[in-house]
Structures are given as C-alpha cells and as structure tokens.
Chains A and B, each alone.
Chain A
Amino acid sequence: MSGKLPSPSRPAQVVFYNDPKVRSVVYQLVLCAVVAFLVYGAVRNAADNLARAHIASGFGFWNDTAGFDISQTLIDYSARASTYGRAFWVGLLNTLLVSALGILFATILGFVIGISRLSRNWLLSKVAGGYVETIRNLPLLLQLLFWYNAVLKALPDIRESIVILGGAFLNNRGLFLPLPIFKSGFGAVEIVLLAGIAGTIAFHIWARKRQARTGQQAPVLWAALVLVVGLPLSAFGLAGIPLGFEFPQAGRFNITGGIEVLPEFVALLFGLSIYTAAFIAEVVRAGILAVSGGQTEAAYSLGLRPGPTLRLIVIPQAMRVIIPPLTSQYLNLTKNSSLAVAIGYPDLVQVFTGTVLNQTGQAVEVVAITMLVYLVISLATSLLMNIYNSRMALRER
C-alpha cells in the first residue's frame, strides 16, 4: 500500500491547510464552537446567578397545582385539581383558537377590501382606501382597547340582556348561544351530509372535464345546493328531528348553560382581524397590480366577463406575488394575539407568562418555554404557507 504512487490523472496534491474545502470546514467548526461556547456561557451564567440569588429553577413546577381560575377553557380545567402544565395547554389552545379564526376572517376581509380598492366604482374604492389608511395607521393595542371598551360599553347590562330569536342572549358579559345536543339518529344525517359533499366534488370534477371536452357548462351550484343542503335536511326530517338544545338560563348573577362567547374573545378577534385585514388588502392589491394589464385585455378579447377574468386569470397569477407577504401577515397576527394581555383574554402570554410566571417566580423557564412555543407556531405556519406557495408557483416546462 505504502509504495503506491499518486495516480497521474489527479492534480498535484496541495498541503491540507491550503485546501479550500478543508479550510471552509475548519472555519465553520470554529464558528460553531464559539457560538456553542457563548450559549453555554449564558446558560451557565444565568444558572449561577439564579442559584446565588436563591431563586428556584428547573421545570418541577410543571406538575404543581395551579390554584387559579381561567375564564375560558377549551379543555377541562379546575383551579383546585389542575396543574401549571394544564394551565399552559389551556392558554396555548386559547391562543391557537383566536389566531386561527383571526387568520380566517382577516383573509376574507382583506381580499374583499383589497379587490374593492381596485374597483371602478368610485365610492367602493374610496371606502376601501379609507379603511386601509385609517386602520393600518393606528396602533393595534389602541384598537383592541377601543373594541373591548366599545363592546363592553355598547352592550346592555346582564339583567337587560338582548334576547335574540331562538333563546340566545347578548349582554356585556358576552354572547350566550344554545348548545346543540345530538340525539341518536343524528349519525345518519351526518353520513348523508358527507355523502352529499363527496357527490358534489365528484359532480364538479365531472362538470369541469365535460366543459373542457365539449364547452358545455353544468349547473354545479344548483347540484351542490341539493346535495349538501337539501338531502341532509330531508334525512333530518325523516329521522324525526334528532336534535335538542341546551338553552342558556338566566341565573341570579350570570347566565348559565349553553355556549358562552366572552367579550374579551370577541374584542381580540375583531381587533386582530380588522387590523391585519388592512395589511392583507394592500398585499392583495399589490399582487393584482403586479399582473400585467395585457392579461386582462387578452381575457376580455377572448370574451370572458370581468368576474371570471378576475377569478380565472388575474388571481391565480397574483397569488404568486401575494403568498410570501401574506405568510408574514399570518405570523404577525399570531404574535400580535399576545396583546390579549391588555384586555383580559386568557391566551398563552396572559396565563403562562402572566400568572404562572408570577406565582412560581421562574421567569427564565417560563419565558423560554413561551418563546419556544411562538417559534414553533410561526415555523409551522410558514412551513404550511411555503408548501402552498410551491404548489402555486409558476411551473416552467
């Protein structure tokens, strides 16, 4: 082995420390080591300081009894029996709930406003413009306080609740809706509904294929109405109306029973949706303007009406410009939901870095966990949006 000569086809050997590959690997390793050392130093320093100040550390508090009440819980929670860990999940679910609904409403509202701003209708475009310029130039915290106080102050006291048709109550404690109770036999209705949805999708696919082949259009909307609404309704009637309601009852102090929607939740959802919608509207407007006017003119010259032109020609191309900034608006909305702390909605920050941090005193652990959670939520959101983006991206052939 040792007597082998270097093969003549390879270039002359350089000394290993002059090899650019080796060098770059070494530089990377050194950098990693420095970063690791800095992180280690910071953690070590924090641990030392905490120990010197006799502040408890570690994650043992996770299984201790929480002892405080939370106003909105999506999972079972009680002050006496639940742990700080449970309180964390309660807060996290509340954050996810308001963020998910906020993203949904902000997107719908944002698209409507963004398209309206480009409308040829003078009044519509000016109203949309006014909305965007007002809403996005006011601080979100101020808007949340406005909505919370507007919601609270405008609604009547609990003893003078507005009774909405069908046994719902609206007052300054929130909105109280009847809770549907499904009786036996409702399963059949659900099966019919699912079958109806599947049938609609199948019909839609068939109709598109037929249109591509023959140019004839099928009445997809009517078919969908019959399959998704009509069929389940008749099944519901045939099964003997297997549905009851638990109606909210006025007690001595509060309304009990039914579904309760907190005013804090409504205020936060309103504030976040309306604020973010203003930014999404601008993103949508920019996306549509980025599609060259020639595309619209070409569509018109092919005989497409303005509605289908927007839906089939402009929006699909605009989406490529819209999606990346839309992602950051979604991330902003999720992170901004932590302003819930100002209006008493029990989100993750209010429950966990608020009460739990204060009761346990373990600021380092609690804040670290919270930051990690927001990081995971944000990365997951942008992962989903990136997948969607790559599906929508221009495929070059």
Chain B
Amino acid sequence: MKRFATVLALSLVVAAQGTSAQTLKAVKDRGMLNCGANGTLAGFGLPDAQGKWTGLDVDFCKAVAAAVLNDPEKVKYVPLSAKDRFTALQSGEVDVLARNTTWTSSRDTSLGLNFIGVNYYDGQGFMVRKTLKVNSALELNGAAVCVQQGTTTELNLADYFGANKMQLKSVTFATANEAVKAYDAGRCDAYTTDASALYAERLRLANPNDHIILPEIISKEPLGPVVRHGDDQWFDIVKWTLFAMLDAEELNISSKNLDEALKSPNPEIKRFVGTEGNYGEQLGLGKDWAVRIIKAVGNYGESFERNVGQGSPLKIERGLNKLWTKGGIQYAPPIR
C-alpha cells in the first residue's frame, strides 16, 4: 500500500508540469491549503475522535491558511509517514509539510526542499523500561532498539552506537505506531526518537510509569515546516507566518489582547497589525495578514503551551524554545 502511494506520487512527478511555481495562486484557486501532517503524534499533529486536528504543526497549517485564505479551517490535512513525506511534497500533493521534520543540509539541497525556519528545537533521546535499571544511554551496549524508518533518528542511532563502540540491534518500522507497539510488547529494550515525541508516545504505552526517558540527548533536531524549492513567493509567505507568530509573542500580542493591539500607538505593533505600512501587501497578502494569524491560532507561546506545554497532557518545558529575550533561542527577524 505504501509502495503504491510512492509509485503514485512518483507518476505525479513524471507527469506534472511545472508544479514548482505558482503555489499561492494554486492554493487560492483551490480555496484550500493542502498540509502534510503527522497524524499519529500527540502535541504535533493528531486528529481526535471527531476528526478535529490539533498540535503545534497543525496550528502552523492553520496560521498559513488564515494568512492566505482568511480562514484557518480551510486546511486539508494529509497524514504522511516519515518515509513518504518528502515525495508527497516534491510531487505537489501537499503545499506545505509541517510534520516535525528535522532540518538537515541534504534535505535542504538534494531533495529540492526549503526549510522555512524552526518551530521546535528538539534532540534525540531514548526511552527504556525501569526494570532494566539503565541510567545512561551509554549503558545500552548490545541493546535492541526500536526505531522509525526514514528518519534522521535512524541515522543518529547508528552514529551514536558506532562512535561509542557499542553493539546495536536496531529493529526498524515504517511508522512510529508500529515501532512503539513493538517496544511495548517487549521486542526491544529501548525506543528512540525526538525527545518531545518520547514524552508523547510514553502516554500511549500500556503502563507509562514503567518507563523512563534517559537524560542523554544525542543529536540536534531543529524541527521546521518545509516547502518546495523554487517558489520564492510561497517560501516567503510560509516563512513569515512563523516569524509573525514569534514576533507577536515578543511584542506581547496574543489572541486575547488583539483588539487593544489594533489601537496601540507603538510603531512596532502598528507595523505588525498593519495600521502602518503595507508589509502584508509586499508578501502578496492583505494588510491584516498577521492579525488573521494571531486571531486564528494565537502567538507562538500560546500555541506551544496549548499543544505541548503546560496546557497539554505532555507538559514539556519550553527550554530552548523560549524566546531569545527569555533565555531561549527562538528569534524572528522584525516586520518592517
């Protein structure tokens, strides 16, 4: 079935003519944003029982739809596995891929993709059973490790065990669901993926309290949304959607105080909400593009806390993902 999907996507690559440019026009004509999402990862992209999607990446899709189509609900979410995601974007099946995807040089260049920024700074970790009495990833010599295929995780895992001269028995699965299920059934000693996802997946295990997450973070995993290479206008729009969410938090503009912000005399805020200058038109959107984004999903901090932070079951600390003004490394260029 997966293979069929790949072949189908492939034939689109073969047949499609010039899907690379004109994404904005295509999205507007369609009246719908096609967004590649995770579909199985709580906190980032997961539909609930009613089919309503939530998550940090899902919020990002809504923000783009709000900016471009003036309606955050006009998004068609396409659930993609790690190994099918790039083909789906390359072939034009989705307009933007927001699926906790790690930014690496080869993906940026040889895959024909552009990362628009980082919406979550992450790192790879390990989860093990408490009964193993393992306190460090360096003690995992000879362990069987369940991992999802087609991820940077899979490569980092082999790197880490090789660099530390440890024996590795990796068992790879096409989807995170299957990998977690096999780990839970005792097929592997450890499960590895990005630390944020470890917290989310632990909640789905039969007995979450029997498992611990080891302290080592073995890699840099800057996760960000991706668009196709070669459509600069669309690249700018998606990039500035993320920047607008970050800038809003820095300027203390949230979905709750938006009305006050619209009346603010502060020039920075006036440029943001569009009462001064024509920055939205320069992007090919309306003056109030940033207001629409904040009205739909709130600023970055609101979205973070609602989906993965203290307002969610995951309760992940913001850590590196705090704004630069608050000790983190999230930083966005100014709107002017």
A residues contacting B by CB (< 8 A) are 42, 45-46, 49-50, 52-56, 67-71, 78-80, 141, 149, 152-153, 157-158, 172-173, 251-254, 256, 263-264, 338, 341-344, 346, 349-350, 353-355, 357-361, 363-364, 367
Partner pick for B13 among A68, A70, A364, CB 8 A cutoff: A364
* From A50, A253, A353, residue with most partner B Cβ within 10 Å: A253
Find chain B residues with CB under 8 A from A364 CB.
Answer: 10, 13-14
Interface contact A67-B178, CB-CB below 8 Å = no
Find chain A residues with CB under 8 A from B140 CB.
Answer: 253
Partner pick for B171 among A54, A158, A264, A360, CB 8 A cutoff: A264
**In the complex, A46 Cα to B159 Cα: how many Å?**
34
Find chain B residues with CB under 8 A from A358 CB.
Answer: 82-83, 86, 149-151
The answer, yes or no, to whether B49 is at the interface (CB within 8 Å) is: no
The answer, yes or no, to whether B157 is at the interface (CB within 8 Å) is: yes
Find chain B residues with CB under 8 A from A344 CB.
Answer: 171-174, 178-179, 182
Partner pick for A253 among B142, B159, B170, CB 8 A cutoff: B142
**In the complex, A256 Cα to B144 Cα: how many Å?**
11
| A69 and B6 contact, Cβ closer than 8 Å, known pairs A152-B187, A157-B186, A252-B142 | no
**In the complex, A53 Cα to B187 Cα: how many Å?**
41
Partner pick for A251 among B1, B142, B174, CB 8 A cutoff: B142
Interface contact A254-B169, CB-CB below 8 Å = yes
Interface contact A52-B13, CB-CB below 8 Å = no
| A353 and B3 contact, Cβ closer than 8 Å, known pairs A359-B150, A361-B86 | yes
Interface contact A172-B142, CB-CB below 8 Å = no
Q: List 11 A-B contacts (CB under 8 A).
A: A45-B14, A45-B17, A49-B16, A50-B13, A71-B171, A152-B185, A152-B186, A158-B186, A357-B150, A361-B111, A367-B7
Q: Which residue of A lies closest to B7 (CB)?
A: A367
The answer, yes or no, to whether B110 is at the interface (CB within 8 Å) is: yes
**In the complex, A344 Cα to B174 Cα: how many Å?**
7
Interface contact A152-B182, CB-CB below 8 Å = yes
B residues contacting A by CB (< 8 A) are 1-3, 6-7, 9-10, 13-20, 82-83, 86-87, 90, 106-107, 109-112, 132, 140-144, 149-151, 154-155, 157-159, 161-162, 167-174, 178-179, 182, 185-187, 189, 228-230
Interface contact A173-B187, CB-CB below 8 Å = yes
Interface contact A346-B15, CB-CB below 8 Å = no
**In the complex, A172 Cα to B171 Cα: how many Å?**
13
Find chain A residues with CB under 8 A from B150 CB.
Answer: 354-355, 357-359
Interface contact B172-A346, CB-CB below 8 Å = yes
| A338 and B3 contact, Cβ closer than 8 Å, known pairs A54-B112, A71-B172, A363-B90 | yes
Q: Would you give the shortest CB distance from A59 to chain B, in whole angstroms?
A: 13
Interface contact B143-A79, CB-CB below 8 Å = no
Interface contact B174-A342, CB-CB below 8 Å = yes
* From B1, B19, B157, B169, residue with most partner A Cβ within 10 Å: B169
Find chain B residues with CB under 8 A from A153 CB.
Answer: 185
Interface contact B144-A53, CB-CB below 8 Å = no
**In the complex, A45 Cα to B141 Cα: how many Å?**
49
Interface contact A69-B10, CB-CB below 8 Å = no
Interface contact A67-B230, CB-CB below 8 Å = no
Q: Would you give the shortest CB distance from B16 to chain A, in whole angstroms?
A: 6
**In the complex, A71 Cα to B173 Cα: how many Å?**
11
Find chain B residues with CB under 8 A from A350 CB.
Answer: 149, 172, 174
